Structure 1
């Protein structure tokens, strides 16, 4: 009986167990169905053009076999979605909240758009969320991300289009967060103070945004003592960097470059023993480098470029034995380079450019395995040291220009197997050009200009066949241009101007099919110009002025449209472009014979020559009396001419003075103030701030933010709250109009140029030694900076910038007589407001110059390579509207393609407008569109590119006016009428 009862108990338990097992299986099946349902719903909001998710089938019993899906081997639940780089688009919508065991969601490198989904905060198990490199937009909603931040460990929203300020309470509960990256977005405002609550952070990257404010509260960052990487670079952060960084004992990377940090470099940075990378470049740090930096024995990367640091170059640099990369450029360091720099055996990159370092180059430096060395713009003297075999094998770039180096170039310079760029210009080397330089198989750029070289040009200087740029200007080179110059098959620019070269121009130059710029001015070249040069289709600019050339100008290519300034100063070039004698290469007559060319008595033709008296001699010298008569007549005519010119000059001066006084009186009356040196003159006193500071005090309070051909630009804040901000341009005064009345008149004309797409000129300051222009300050910086940011601009924003720039230029060209010429079109002179509307700055500054000197044109070339119209390449000083239109066309090309106007590769030089023109001729013009701009209307982009090519026509008269450009752009953007 007892046994029977026991058997009944076991049977009951067995039945109960079976029942419970069935329930568990049903629950498991239900949960699995939740995963499938969630993924299928999630997929419906995505576009999958490459069918990567075709294996996701709702009829399957489990999603664990699906592509890109990971499951927990124990529970069978979905634990990871790894969807990187699949070309997916759409948005993150519903469904993911069903995946209650999801730990990893990675969708980087797709084209996901829309706002950050609130459903992401409903996944309690999520530990890693990577949505980087997509097209997410909008601001951060704290209500949707509070739960997410409290649970996730690795969070990456970098390189999207997110914007707005971050809520200060966003990180109130972030104890689990280990890694956070918001880099490459458009966040603005202060960094949330609650971020310092994330005590477990190992990695923090807020770079390439618009975060502003000072770092006083960020001293709390130093309490994040688990940080390994801190990147705040390329924002708008200001003020001093507080001490305390040493508290982050295990910090490996500290990146603060591209802000406006000021004050001294924190001394306790040297107390971070594990630091590998330190980048403080492009700030406003002052003072000397702290000696504590020498303690950083693990440091490999050290960049402090573009600051205001000074003092002697540190002797202790050699003790930082792990350094591989050093950039101290654009500071105020002086003193000698210590020989201990040769102790940096791992060093591969060294840039000390644009300082005041003197003395000789240490021999020990050239014993290292450097790949790039830039010592340009210093005061180094002595000779160039001989290189070690280690340097022969490693050196790729050497720039020693703008120093005081002397003596010969080491002969072994041609043995560098990897050397691509060599610049020794602006020294005093006083030697011959070593022919061994032609042996460098990879040399692309060779610049030896203005360094006192003499002798002949080596015939084998292009033996390598890779040279793209050869600049030998401003030396004392003699002899002919070698015939072997035709072997320079890769040459893009050949500049031999300002030497003593003689003989004729070699025909072999016509073999240089890639040549675009040829500069031979100011030499002793003679004879006729080879007609073959007219067949060089790629030649854009030629200057052969001030030689001894004669004869016909080549009829093809660039020659018929050359500016006369590129031909002047020769014995007699035959061209309708020039006035004066035309001489052919034929024997010169020894005597003057009025009948030798068929003319007598001032008009008889050759048919009447037979009628001349037989006794008249075939060759007769002028008599003494005839010479005296002619001389007297010339003297009398010259006297009359001088007196007439003096009278005209006097009348012009009187008229000029009257006009100046009239302008002075009227402008003073309008402004309500009188001109006085040393005062800030405002064009509109109602909207101008009440600044009672002198200009010197003004600049002392200002922060330098840029510079260019015409001067340096500062940012100045005024008022109790510092909200009154202006940009101040300190003009380079060497060539600026010195008359205050003239300066006032020209500046007031520029001040009248009011337009939504122009930066407003608010006033000026004038003294004989200091001249300032005060303009509005645009918070969002320049187009140049925007083009370097990520994510890339959308087509709508690019078109908006193109259209706005065109309207601004059209206003300058067509609303003023004479027109206001910008002259300096380039991305850094196009500022952007908060809505990415463009505003042209620095327009019309050539009006303030006494004359447009050659060095201004030359500096313009250097500062805006590729934007300068080809007719100016020969230092022509005829600046007109067509020059602006050319620069505008190049701007369009850069905006649409995302490429620089001129790009230097290892083997060639790519000129953007030529590249696009070739693609257009091949029918593949859309192949050049910026690949980062994934979505664009072809029917707009294609005609815009064609318009750009018309604007960059080599012949100025072929370029449209800016009013025509605006009308064309409006037609391109106009909606296509629907068909009924």
Structure 2
């Protein structure tokens, strides 16, 4: 069967012949139209290419020779073209330049250069071409002068046929995965000016034949696997301007012939195994601008001839074994911008000329320098051009004080003087360095206090003053450093409290204040820092409760240890508080005073309001060691509203109302704004109306006085609940979350010892009861099950869009309304706890076995919305099969996910389906749904779809035109 493009080719050719044009005159139009057919052109740049034109010479990207009027140049760089290189190019018999760089063309090279015999320039760089280059690709390439295949995905050996391209002046195969040895003929390309093979996997040695490349200007072999010594013949390539041999395994010493390379301005020899001293002849390379000898085994002192390199801008000799001091002749390197001598064994003091040059980067870290900074600064600062950006002299043996003259470096971004023996105060003038991003003075012997002026360095992102002898308090001005991401003041003698301004540093990620003498409570506003990764306040004298936030709920105990007066769940120490008196409300009162009690005819009977019961409940929960008073349940007169039913918390005991009231104690909030609700005159709860219990507490069904049915959850995790402010803030946010597949939160009641959540009442029960406790006659149909799955997915999607993770997706938390549609309950309640570690999540929240995502057991994996996706996947399989996530047999434990996966793989699908459906289900819907459930329960979180994708897939499954092929087992 003919390929589509072959047919197109013949159709266009037929069109050409019908028009009566000579095929030889119209080959270019034909070839380019066929070439275009193989490409996608998102920018529409090729729209001008029209097969009805007599000539393509006016088309975009096309240039014709004025002599032959045939296409000579095709340049389509950077147009985001995709597709492949098709056979249409073969019709361009006069093509001399083909440039398709910086696109997204993929596939392999299917062309040969002998098919484009006039081609002189070929540039396919920065595409997505891949595979091996065919062995005969370079056959008959005598006209080719320049080729670039850089930044693609080619692999394998470079074909030996490249040796036949003797006219090549430029070869660029960089940034691919070419391996093996370079064809030997390359070293005989006498016209070669540029050879770039960097960032591949090439190996072998540079042969002595390199001396024949007399026209070579650039040779770049960096980031390969070349070995051996640099041949002496390289010195005969006297036109060389750039040599990059970095990141290979070259060895030996540098050949003396290299001193003849007086035009060389870039000599990059880093990360090899060169040995010996830096040769004295290095000063003969008078054009050098960049000299990088880093990461080798050079030893000895840097030669004084370096001072002859007047054009030198960058000098890097880091990570060697250089010793001694720097030569004074370097003061003549007047164009130096950056020096890096780090990780050597240099000795002596900082040279006096150092700060007199126009240096932007000075790096001397990890050496053996001694002396102070003041002598070098005082002798040179007046002549300095004040362009210094980076100053790193860390890990040496510097002593003395930090001179205030450092303020003259107004462009300084990084100052690292850590791990020396500096003494004295931190100069106030540091605050005048307005451009400073990093200040690291850690690991010295600095004393005194942190200057208030530090707040003037408003660009600071990292402040490290740890391991010193600093005293006094943390300056309040630290709050002015609004860009801070890293703050380390540990292991000093700091006193006082943590200033509230720290809580205003909204970009903070890492904070270490450990091993000081800080005292007082932590600012509560610290809980609002949304980017924190670590916060270490261990071994201080801090007091009070940890801030309430998701971060501080999961902070490691080691980060807060050593503070005996800190309290909260993380340190396993209760916070004792004085509880206010709750409000006593009368549900039948019409008086303006909600605390009055109505009198009934006959003998007097006390009627308990919900607030009175809450008050008694609160009081009873805080009395340690006192047994609850047992009284008889009050019976409600028949004339009373059902809303006055007695609420008992345990054992059927009654709670009498408090004899006194306080309007400022308990707090009741209803989000509906209904006046009846806002007064707090509600129905009371009765244990006979208990709907169920979960990790957060018991749930009761209650009818309010106005006839409105609600479900009230009495929380039993009071010892873990946040402060009232955080509790109310979280609930008000949850109260705003509205979706027809979510159970609405209608209000709450707060006292420090008792919290009630008031929810919409859903009358149809939960999914668990429908699946596992219903009779065989009353089962859920497939259509109902599918709607439950889809509705639950939509509800979860809405939660995730609000950045709410449920943490506890299971069938008992999916409620069914009268119409058979699902509503998710208990969402967002985990946000009420201050300790969201895996233990709390697994013991308090993820109580149902089988729904818990595997990342809960792995401390190194972050808990995300994907844990909800896992639980939802289990829920899908449970809904389809009617089986529990884990079932215990006599001699075995059956895990639902494993059972379904095995059945699908073995073609036993119907064995998994709930038998109550008796084959009344569409297989083309049920099987993709089961597969989706398995995808959602992937062990790797990143392999699970997000809930929005799940909804889309479910909608495609239900839609007749939906494409189900993308549902595959993982």
TM-score by length of 1: 0.57
User: What does residue range 119-518 of structure 1 map to in structure 2 within 5 Å?
Assistant: 119-148=112-141, 150-167=142-159, 169-215=160-206, 218-384=207-373, 385-386=376-377, 388=381, 391=384, 393-518=386-511
Quote how far apart the aligned CAs of 1:487 are: 1.1
1:854-876, CA deviations, whole angstroms, 9 ceiling, x for partnerless residues?
Answer: xxxxxxxxxxxxxxx999xxxxx
The answer to which structure, 1 or 2, has the higher relative contact order (CA under 8 A, 6+ apart) is: 1
SS in 2 for 1:189: strand
Structure 1 residue matching 2:147: 3-state secondary structure: strand
| Structure 2 match to 1:548 | 541
Alpha-carbon distance between aligned partners in 2 of 1:605 and 1:99, rounded to the nearest angstrom: 98
CA distance in 1, matches of 2:313, 2:391: 17
How far residue 410 of structure 1 moved from its aligned partner, in angstroms, is 2.6
For 1:884, the equivalent position in structure 2 comes to 860
Mapping of residues 356-755 of structure 1, within 5 Å: 356-384=345-373, 385-386=376-377, 388=381, 391=384, 393-578=386-571
Report the Cα distance in structure 2 between the residues aligned to 1:584 and 1:374, rounded to whole angstroms.
Answer: 55
CA distance in 2 between counterparts of 1:260 and 1:514 reads: 43
Measure how far apart 1:197 and its partner are: 2.1
Asked whether the equivalents of residues 112 and 139 of structure 2 are also in contact (C-alpha less than 8 Å), the reply is: no
Alignment partner of 2:46 out of 42, 53, 74: 53
Contact 1:885 1:961 in 2 (8 A): no
In the alignment, the residues of structure 2 paired with residue 392 and residue 887 of structure 1 have an alpha-carbon distance, to the nearest angstrom, of 52
Distance 1:259 1:451, change over 3 A: same
- Measure, in 2, the Cα distance between the counterparts of 1:278 and 1:82: 33
* Deviation of 1:359 (Å): 0.6
CA contact (8 A) 1:376 1:403 kept: yes
Q: Does structure 2 retain, via aligned residues, the 8 Å contact 1:550–1:583?
A: no
Superposed CA deviations along residues 49-79 of structure 1, whole A, max 9, x for unmatched, are 2111111222222222111111222332221
Residues 541, 870 of structure 1: 8 Å contact kept: no
Q: How does 1:4-23 map to 2 (within 5 A)?
A: none
Task: Tell me the CA shift for residue 563 of structure 1.
Answer: 2.2
Unaligned runs of 5+ in 2: 1-18, 579-623, 629-836, 840-854, 867-935, 958-962
Contact persistence 1:543–1:566 (CA under 8 A) = yes
Deviation of 1:354 (Å):
0.6
Q: Where does 1:686-835 land on structure 2 (aligned, <5 Å)?
A: none
Question: For 1:266-318, what per-residue CA distance to the aligned partner results, in whole angstroms no more than 9, with x for missing partners?
Answer: 23222211111110111122222222212100111111111122112222211
Q: In the TM superposition, what is the alpha-carbon distance from 1:101 to its structure 2 partner?
A: 2.2
Q: Report SS of the residue matched to 1:443.
A: coil
Secondary structure class of the residue paired with 2:161: coil
User: How far, CA to CA, are the matches of 1:364 and 1:966 in structure 2?
Assistant: 56
Instruction: Assess if the C-alpha contact under 8 Å between 1:224 and 1:248 holds in 2.
Output: yes
Look up the SS of the partner of 1:76 in the other structure: coil
Specify the structure having the higher radius of gyration (Cα): 2
Distance 1:94 1:553, change over 3 A: closer
Deviation at 1:964? Answer: 5.4
Q: For 1:568, what is the secondary structure of its paired residue? A: coil
1:604–1:558 Cα change, 3 Å: closer
Equivalent in the alignment of 1:38? 31
- Quote the Cα distance in structure 2 between the aligned partners of 1:110 and 1:520: 51
* Shift in Å, 1:582: 8.0
Q: CA deviation at 1:480?
A: 0.7
Q: Which consecutive residues of structure 1, in runs of 5 or more, have no partner in the other structure?
A: 1-25, 586-602, 608-868, 872-878, 891-959
Measured in 1, the distance between the counterparts of 2:324 and 2:494 equals 40
Secondary structure at 1:118 match in 2: coil
**What is the distance in 2 between the residues matched to 1:284 and 1:884?**
38
CA gap of 1:604–1:516, structure 2 versus 1, over 3 A, is closer
SS at 1:333 equivalent? strand
Please report how far the alpha carbon of residue 557 of structure 1 lies from its aligned counterpart in structure 2 after TM superposition.
4.8
Considering only aligned residues, what root-mean-square deviation do their CA atoms show, in Å? 3.4
CA displacement 1:532-566 (0-9 Å, x = unmatched)? 32332333321111122223332335333322222
Which secondary structure state, in structure 2, belongs to the residue aligned with residue 70 of structure 1?
A: strand
Secondary structure in 1 aligned to 2:861? helix
Distance 1:360 1:280, change over 3 A: same
What's the TM-score once normalised by structure 2's chain length? 0.58
Distance 1:100 1:551 in 2: 84
Q: Aligned pair count? A: 597
Q: How far apart, CA to CA, are the structure 2 residues paired with 1:582 and 1:60? A: 85
Cα pair distance change 1:582/1:409, threshold 3 Å: same
1:658-709 Cα shifts (integer Å, max 9, x gaps): xxxxxxxxxxxxxxxxxxxxxxxxxxxxxxxxxxxxxxxxxxxxxxxxxxxx
Please list, as runs of the form range in 1=range in 2, the aligned pairs for 1:936-975 lying within 5 A after superposition.
963=939, 965=941, 968=944
Q: Does 1:78 align with 2:54?
A: no
CA distance in 1, matches of 2:390, 2:336: 14
Helix, strand or coil at the partner of 1:238: strand
Contact 1:392 1:417 in 2 (8 A): no
Matched position secondary structure for 2:63: strand
Go from structure 1 to structure 2 and tell me whether the alpha carbon gap of 1:334 and 1:100 turns closer, same or farther (over 3 Å shift). same
Three-state SS of the structure 2 residue aligned to 1:194 is: helix
For 1:121, what is the secondary structure of its paired residue?
A: helix
**Are the equivalent residues in 1 in contact too, given 2:189–2:213 (CA < 8 A)?**
yes
Give me the whole-angstrom Cα distance separating, in 2, the residues matched to 1:880 and 1:269: 61
Q: Report the counterpart of residue 774 of structure 1 in structure 2.
A: none
Distance in 2 between residues matched to 1:979 and 1:970, nearest whole Å: 15
Q: In 2 relative to 1, CA 579–116 (structure 1 residues): closer, same or farther, beyond 3 Å?
A: closer
Deviation sequence 1:514-534 (CA, Å, 0-9, x none): 112221111111222222323
Distance 1:388 1:246, change over 3 A: same
Change (3 A) 1:52 1:964: closer
| Deviations, residues 795-829 of structure 1 (Å, cap 9, x unaligned) | xxxxxxxxxxxxxxxxxxxxxxxxxxxxxxxxxxx
Aligned-pair distance for 1:510? 1.2
Change (3 A) 1:286 1:962: farther
In 1, distance between residues paired with 2:937 and 2:402?
Answer: 51
Name the SS for the 1:578 alignment partner. coil
Q: Is the 8 A contact 1:38 1:99 kept in 2?
A: yes
* Number of the residue aligned with 1:725: none
- Choose 36-45 or 504-513, whichever is displaced more: 36-45
Task: State the alpha-carbon separation in 1 of the partners of residues 550 and 861 from structure 2.
Answer: 21
Contact residue 318 and residue 341 of structure 1 kept, 8 A: yes
Instruction: Give the whole-Å Cα distance in 1 for the aligned partners of 2:487 and 2:43.
Output: 49
